């Protein structure tokens, strides 16, 4: 990607936050908590791959916003940009648990989730 494409918003790529309000025919959402190095969001916690922290538990008990709440909103923004086709690629230490959980949550059906190793 060239710098002028980036500064002129002509890139074919966008961040999960940066695509809010935009629409595209086809979307690939890339999820990798390890590479994101963020602390405000955790897809592994949202997908129940990693346990909640004591801080998460406390905030839930007190009715405060949690990283899970922020991650859920971010996931919605990223996934709702697609008009025709959505693919989600998630890098995780436990892909089978991720698959089972998103199916159990009712977010996707079994035929929509594929584990690739």
Query: Residues 98, 49: contact at Cβ < 8 Å?
Result: yes
Q: What SS3 state is found at 91? A: coil
- Residue 15 belongs to some domain of the structure: no
Which phi and psi angles does 10 have, rounded to 5°? -105, 5
Phi-psi category of 44—alpha, beta or left, where left has phi over 0 and alpha has psi -120 to 50? alpha
- Residue 44 belongs to some domain of the structure: yes
- Residue 5 belongs to some domain of the structure: no
The reported pLDDT for the residue numbered 72 is 94
Distance separating alpha carbons of residues 88 and 81, to the nearest angstrom: 12
User: For the chain, how many structural domains are there in total?
Assistant: 1
- Residue 37 belongs to some domain of the structure: yes
Which pTM does this prediction carry? 0.79
Domain span at residue 48? 26-112
The reported pLDDT for the residue numbered 1 is 57
CA 95 to chain centre: 14
The reported pLDDT for the residue numbered 15 is 62
The reported pLDDT for the residue numbered 23 is 76
The reported pLDDT for the residue numbered 19 is 66
- Residue 34 belongs to some domain of the structure: yes
The reported pLDDT for the residue numbered 38 is 66
- The H-or-E segment that residue 90 falls in is strand 82-90
| Strands annotated E in the chain | 24-31, 82-90
Report, as ranges of residue numbers, the positions in the chain whose pLDDT lies below 50.
none
Q: Give CA angle at 81 (76, 87), nearest 5°.
A: 80
The reported pLDDT for the residue numbered 82 is 84
């Amino acid at each position: 990607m060239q710098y002028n494409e980036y500064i002129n918003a002509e890139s074919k790529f966008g961040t999960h936050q940066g695509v809010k309000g935009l629409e595209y025919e086809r979307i690939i959402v890339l999820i990798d908590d390890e590479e994101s190095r963020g602390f405000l969001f955790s897809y592994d916690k949202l997908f129940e791959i990693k346990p909640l922290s004591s801080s998460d538990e406390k905030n839930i008990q007190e009715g405060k916003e949690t990283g899970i709440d922020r991650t859920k909103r971010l996931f919605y923004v990223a996934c709702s940009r697609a008009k025709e086709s959505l693919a989600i690629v998630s890098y995780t230490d436990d892909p089978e648990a991720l698959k089972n959980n998103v199916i159990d949550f009712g977010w996707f059906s079994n035929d929509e989730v594929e584990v690739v190793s």
